Structure 1
Amino acid sequence: MEPTPSPSVNTLYSLDVVAMVNTNTIRTAVGIVGNVISFGLFMSPVPTFISIFKAKSVQNFKPDPYIATILNCGVWTFYGSPFVTPDNTLVITINGFGFFLEIFYTSVFFVYSAWNKRRKIMLIFLAEIIFIALLVFLVMTFVHTPKERKVIVGPICIVFNILMYFSPLTVMRQVIRTKSVKYMPFLLSFTNFANGIVWTAYALLKWDPFIVIPNGLGTLSGLTQLILYVMYYRTTNWDEDDDDSANI
């Protein structure tokens, strides 16, 4: 019997290239799905803000998730830029959109809140904008390679992504205390959960721990919110009077 010829180096190289192309194609497709779901996540509070517009009051809704998301989207937009990481255009597009939309949401809370709450919202917002500007300036000025920038910006993104996903903790505490999910919008919880799953898959296809870690935790946060929604849906009094005296 003649010995089976071993694959040539060129053949193995070609197979590696095909596998890489397929992985990149799948990753791009997952990233597009992630953009669609993230778009849904950013748009999911629309019913909440329609309610605020109609009542001309923020009622018992809390601005925490929207304020936290401004900072999260700002740092992720910087992370996805070619100055920090290559091939992350999909990260830039959706987070850039989310950055400006969350500013709009926060502005609505500012307009329809009492003055003491307005001051708190304004101070936090200004602190976030200053932080983002300083981060971009310092990294671009003193760190000279994308690899080094990624190591610095990535952990910062993890922190603020986790803050965004867990910012509804104040709402969850209110849900447990009142046994009511009236002020924890279902769409926001569901899209948080779906968003975490898709972006975790996106980062696993081309290993990026800075995306995997916060989105894996975000999946758990969204799942917890959905469990609370199921637990307390029946005990929710949807017709109860709104009290705008609650602290944000």
Structure 2
Amino acid sequence: MGERLRLAVGVIGNAASVLLYAAPILTFSRVIRKKSTEEFSCVPYIIALLNCLLYTWYGLPVVSHRWENLPLITTNGLGILLEFSFIFIYFWFASDGGKMKVAVSVTTVIIGFCTTAIISALAFHDHHHRKVFVGSVGLVVSVAMYGSPLVVVKQVILTKSVEFMPFYLSFFSFLGSSCWMTYGILSHDLFLAAPNLVGSPLGILQLMLYCKYRKRGIIEEPNKWDTEKNDEKSKHLQLVINDSISGKS
């Protein structure tokens, strides 16, 4: 019964994590449409990429015992593809300075992951110590991932607008962390449960912040057609005024 419950929670966690990793699709459809990254931050996606890389490695038989953590591999493997796609789109539409920051950050992430993977594979010779090492690194990165949307909190509070703090990213972050926390507890795996014990409260905080400022609305750019119409009306009104002045004189 316990094993079936653990598997069921793992499947739910898989679904929640897929939704978390897919949530930025709405954000990046806007980036593509406007051909600009605006005030969006790439930090959450870069940290999420590192998280996916680490936990895919953690779930593989090199670190875990056989295929005991198969749900980790499937969801984080898909996450790697999605995060790479989002980062590429961000890079494509970012300014020159933004491109440089993204390139440096992604390079650092890749080097960090490769270093962790090589050390865990060569320096440790049993699953237990490999899990402790990779899990410890993954724990820190997971906490950073769940808290990364907070990088825009200052902007949200100052502008009293949640335009650049995507709701679905915060919502699925909370949902996914809650599921994986439960999965980790049922699996008696501290390195799966611990980061999500932090991730769930952070997700709640982000949702509370969103609910507080969502009524302020999202700042929309004026419609080009409406602007052109207003310009035409202004020109017409000016002509009428000029004609009236000419007639009186």
Shorter-chain TM band: 0.7 to 0.9
One-letter amino acid of the structure 1 residue matched with residue 220 of structure 2: D
TM-score by length of 1: 0.86
Aligned to 1:219: 200
Aligned to 1:102: 83
Aligned to 1:40: 19
Q: Aligned partners of 1:170 and 1:136: how far apart in 2?
A: 28
Q: Aligned partners of 1:237 and 1:91: how far apart in 2?
A: 36
Aligned to 1:82: 61
Aligned to 2:142: 161
Aligned to 1:16: none
Q: Aligned partners of 1:127 and 1:114: how far apart in 2?
A: 20
Query: Could you list the runs of 4 or more consecutive aligned residues of structure 1 that deviate by over 6 angstroms after TM superposition?
Result: none
Q: Which piece of structure 1 moves more, 144-153 or 229-238? A: 229-238
Q: Structure 1 or 2: larger helix share?
A: 2
Q: Aligned partners of 2:118 and 2:184: how far apart in 1?
A: 27
Q: Aligned partners of 1:55 and 1:133: how far apart in 2?
A: 35
One-letter amino acid of the structure 2 residue matched with residue 51 of structure 1: R
Gaps of 5+ in 2: 223-249
TM-superposed CA distance for 1:207, in Å, is: 1.1
Q: What's the % identity of the aligned pairs?
A: 36
Tell me if the contact between 1:166 and 1:221 (Cα under 8 Å) persists in the aligned partners.
Answer: yes
Q: Aligned partners of 2:116 and 2:107: how far apart in 1?
A: 14
TM-superposed CA distance for 1:75, in Å, is: 0.8
Number of corresponding residues: 220
Aligned to 2:164: 183
3-state SS of paired residue (1:174): helix
Report which structure shows greater RCO (CA 8 Å, sep ≥6). 1
User: In terms of Rg, which structure is larger?
Assistant: 2
Q: Aligned partners of 2:153 and 2:70: how far apart in 1?
A: 34
Gaps of 5+ in 1: 1-21, 242-248
TM-score by length of 2: 0.86
Q: Aligned partners of 1:58 and 1:237: how far apart in 2?
A: 16
Q: Deviations over 1:145-171 (max 9, x none)?
A: 011111111111100001101111211
Q: Aligned partners of 1:217 and 1:33: how far apart in 2?
A: 19
